[in-house]
Structure 1
Amino acid sequence: MRPAAGVGEGVVLQRRHLYPAAAARPVGLRAPARVQPVDTAGRVDQHAGVQVNGLRLDVGEVRVGTSGWSYDHWRWVLYDPPVPSSGRLGVYSTVFDTVELNASFYHWPRATAFVHWTQQVPPDFLMTVKAPRGLTHARKLRDPEAWTTRISEGMSALGERRGMLLMQLPPDLERDDERLAGALRAIPAGVRVAVELRHPSWVHDDVFALLARFGASYCVMSGAGLPCELRATSDVVYVRLHGPDPERLYVGSYSDQDLDWWARRIREWQGSGRAVLCYFNNDGDGNAVRDAQRLRQRVGPL
C-alpha cells in the first residue's frame, strides 16, 4: 500500500479525552480541516468523491451499522420474526447500508464466501472487513506479507460492495511505528485501511502523521478503558462504539445525550468534507441495533 500524497494536509489535532466518562467529553470541538479526496496512487481528484479511493462513498456521506449481523440474541430485535442464520444478512441489509464483518477476525473466509455475501445485499451496500487475528494478534503485524494474498482475494471478491479493512491491534501491543508502517505497506493496493490502536502509547502526533501518509484512517473508538481520540487522518472517518459501560466492553445502551454528542461530532466531520463509517459493537440485548438506528435518525436519512 503506497503512501497517499496530500491526505494528511490540514488535519486538525483535536482535543483528547477518555470516553465514556461523561465529564471528560470535550466541548467546543473544532471541526477538522477539509481534505481533498485522493486515489490509491496519491493523485488528487478535484471532481470525484471518495469513490476514487475504492469506496462507494460520497464526500460527506455517513453510514451507520453494526459490528456483525448474525447474533441469536438479535431475534425479535432485528430478526422479527426470527429467520435462519443464512437469511440474516439479507434482512439486515433492508435496515442498514453497511456492516462490519467480525467473523473474518477469527477465521479468514474463502473468496467464495465473500461473493456469497455480496449476492445477499443491494448493490450500494458496503461491507467492512476485520483483519485476521493471525496478523494483528498472533503475529502482531510481523511478516504481514503472509496475509497479503488472502486479504487481496477476499476484499476483491466484494467488488463494489467493498468497504474498509479494519486492523484492530491488541491492547497489549505498544507503539511501534516501524512495524505499523510495514503492515500498511503490505496491504494490497486499492484496499482502504482503518487502524484501531487500543494501547494508549499510540496516541501521538507522529503516529497520526504516519497513518495520514498511507491514507489510513485512525479508528475513533468509545469503550471502557479505550482512548477516545477525535482524530481524522484521511478523508474517511472510521468510528467504533463498543458500549457506554465504564467497566466492561460491548454492553449497555448509549443514552440520548451520548448519541446527540456523537451526532454532533459526525456532523462536524461531514462539514469538513469527510465521509464517516460508524459501527456499534455493543451487541448484547440487541443494543447495537437500536443504538445504530437512533444515531442514524440523528445524522439524517439513508
Structure 2
Amino acid sequence: MTAGVIRVGISGWTYAPWRGVFYPSHVKREQELAYAAGQVRAIEINGTFYAMQRPEVFASWAEQVPAEFVFAVKAPRYITHVLRLRDAQVAVANFIASGLLRLGVHLGPILWQLPANFRFDPPRIERFLKLLPRDTGHAAALGRNHDNRLRAPAWLEVDIRRPMRHALEIRHDSFRCAEFIELLRAHDVALVCADSVAWPRLMDVTADFVYCRLHGSRELYASGYDHAALDEWGQRSKVWARGEEPKSTDRVGGKARARKRDVFVFFDNDMKVRAPANAMELIRRLRA
C-alpha cells in the first residue's frame, strides 16, 4: 500500500510578532502569504471564521501560492458558534457563494470548529453532516441558496468537479463516545486530532484523511514542541499516511479500516512565533 501525502502547515499567516523573526525584514506585509507558502505545504485561513470574504480575496490568496499548495478554510463562527449548526443551510450557502470555490485546486479541507460549551447532540450533528457538500459541483448547487447578506456578487463557477473534505473539531468531553465516531465515519468527515491542554484529544480515524491541530500541549497557543514531541508527531503522521494507526492512541471508537490517507498537521501555537519554527522543523524531519 502506498502512502498518502503529508502536509505540514500553520494556522494563519498575519501576525505582527512574526515580522523580523519568521518573516525577514525585507518581506512586505503584502508578500507574507507568498513567503509563508514557500516554507510550508498548507495554511489554515482564519479570516473566514471571523468575517465573510469576497470572491476577489479568495482569488488573490490562490494567486500567491505554489501550484501544489493547499489551503484549509476555517468555516464561519456564525454557523458553529451563533447558529450552533441549527438551520444552517442558508449560512453554509453564503459561505460557499462568498468565493470559496475561487480557490480552485488550492481548496483543501473545510474546518468546522465547535465552541467549548457545545455538547454532543446526535440528531443535530447528523443533520449538519448530511448538509455538507461532498464535491465542488454539489457546493455550487448548495451555494445558490444564498441570501442577500453577501458582500459581493456570488461566485459559483466550477472549472472541474473536485471532491471536498470536511473536518470537525470538538471541544467538549461529551463527544468522547463511539456513537459520535460512527456518525463521522458514516459521512466521511474527519475528527480533528487537537493537541491541547484545554480540550479532548482524540485520535480516532474517521475519514479518508487525518487532520491535526497542534495548539500547544503545555500552554494553549503558546508552548512549542521539543525534538521528542516533533519526532512523535512525525512518526504518527507516517503511520496514518500508510493507512495504519499509532500503537499508543487515544480512541473511543473501533479501529478504522486500513487505507492510505493524506495527513494535515497544522501548528496553531502562534504566540511567541512557535508555529512556523515547529512546522518547518517537522517538515525537515519528515524529509530526513
Shorter chain as denominator, the TM-score bin is 0.7 to 0.9
Instruction: Report the alpha carbon displacement of residue 82 of structure 1 after superposing the two structures with TM.
Output: 4.6
Give the aligned partner of residue 94 of structure 2.
150
Higher relative contact order structure (alpha carbons within 8 Å, sequence separation ≥ 6): 1
Distance 1:279 1:148 in 2: 24
Instruction: Report the alpha carbon displacement of residue 258 of structure 1 after superposing the two structures with TM.
Output: 1.1
Give the aligned partner of residue 241 of structure 2.
270
Give structure 1 stretches of 5+ with no counterpart: 1-33, 35-57
> Pick from 268, 277, 288: which aligns with 1:281?
268
Instruction: Report the alpha carbon displacement of residue 97 of structure 1 after superposing the two structures with TM.
Output: 1.7
Distance 2:122 2:3 in 1: 29
- Contact 1:152 1:188 (C-alpha < 8 Å) held by counterparts: no
SS of 1:83's equivalent in the other structure is coil
Give the aligned partner of residue 77 of structure 1.
21
1:137 equivalent in alignment to 2:68:
no
- Contact 1:148 1:188 (C-alpha < 8 Å) held by counterparts: no
> Pick from 65, 72, 85: which aligns with 1:128?
72
1:232 equivalent in alignment to 2:205:
yes
Give the aligned partner of residue 94 of structure 1.
38
Distance 2:124 2:287 in 1: 39
Return the TM-score normalized by structure 2: 0.81
Instruction: Report the alpha carbon displacement of residue 158 of structure 1 after superposing the two structures with TM.
Output: 0.7
Give the aligned partner of residue 278 of structure 2.
291
> Pick from 119, 140, 143: which aligns with 2:63?
119
Q: Deviations over 1:146-205 (max 9, x none)?
A: 222223233311100001100000110000111112222222331310000110111211
Distance 1:65 1:115 in 2: 20
Distance 1:78 1:199 in 2: 33
Aligned residues: 243
1:163 equivalent in alignment to 2:102:
no
Deviating more after overlay: 134-143 vs 185-194: 185-194
Q: Deviations over 1:258-289 (max 9, x none)?
A: 11111111111022111101100000121000
Deviating more after overlay: 76-85 vs 274-283: 76-85
Instruction: Report the alpha carbon displacement of residue 89 of structure 1 after superposing the two structures with TM.
Output: 0.5
Give the aligned partner of residue 220 of structure 1.
193
Q: Deviations over 1:17-74 (max 9, x none)?
A: xxxxxxxxxxxxxxxxx8xxxxxxxxxxxxxxxxxxxxxxx95110000000111111
Deviating more after overlay: 250-259 vs 163-172: 250-259
Return the TM-score normalized by structure 1: 0.77
Name the CA shift for 1:185/1:111 in 2 (closer, same or farther; >3 Å). Answer: farther
SS of 1:242's equivalent in the other structure is strand
Name the CA shift for 1:82/1:202 in 2 (closer, same or farther; >3 Å). Answer: farther
Instruction: Report the alpha carbon displacement of residue 226 of structure 1 after superposing the two structures with TM.
Output: 1.5
Q: Deviations over 1:186-234 (max 9, x none)?
A: 2233131000011011121111111111111010010112111111101
Give the aligned partner of residue 66 of structure 1.
10
Give structure 2 stretches of 5+ with no counterpart: 136-163, 244-259
Instruction: Report the alpha carbon displacement of residue 86 of structure 1 after superposing the two structures with TM.
Output: 1.7
Distance 2:170 2:121 in 1: 11
Amino acid at match of 1:163: G
SS of 1:239's equivalent in the other structure is strand
SS of 2:213's equivalent in the other structure is strand
Distance 1:150 1:86 in 2: 27
Percent identity between the two aligned chains: 33
> Pick from 242, 251, 263: which aligns with 2:215?
242
Distance 2:130 2:96 in 1: 13
SS of 2:216's equivalent in the other structure is coil
SS of 2:53's equivalent in the other structure is coil
Instruction: Report the alpha carbon displacement of residue 244 of structure 1 after superposing the two structures with TM.
Output: 2.3
Give the aligned partner of residue 5 of structure 1.
none
Distance 2:185 2:11 in 1: 25
Deviating more after overlay: 60-69 vs 261-270: 261-270
Q: What is the 5 A alignment of 1:188-199?
A: 188-190=133-135, 191-199=164-172
1:211 equivalent in alignment to 2:188:
no
Give the ranges of 4+ consecutive aligned residues of structure 1 lying more than 6 Å apart after TM superposition. Answer: none
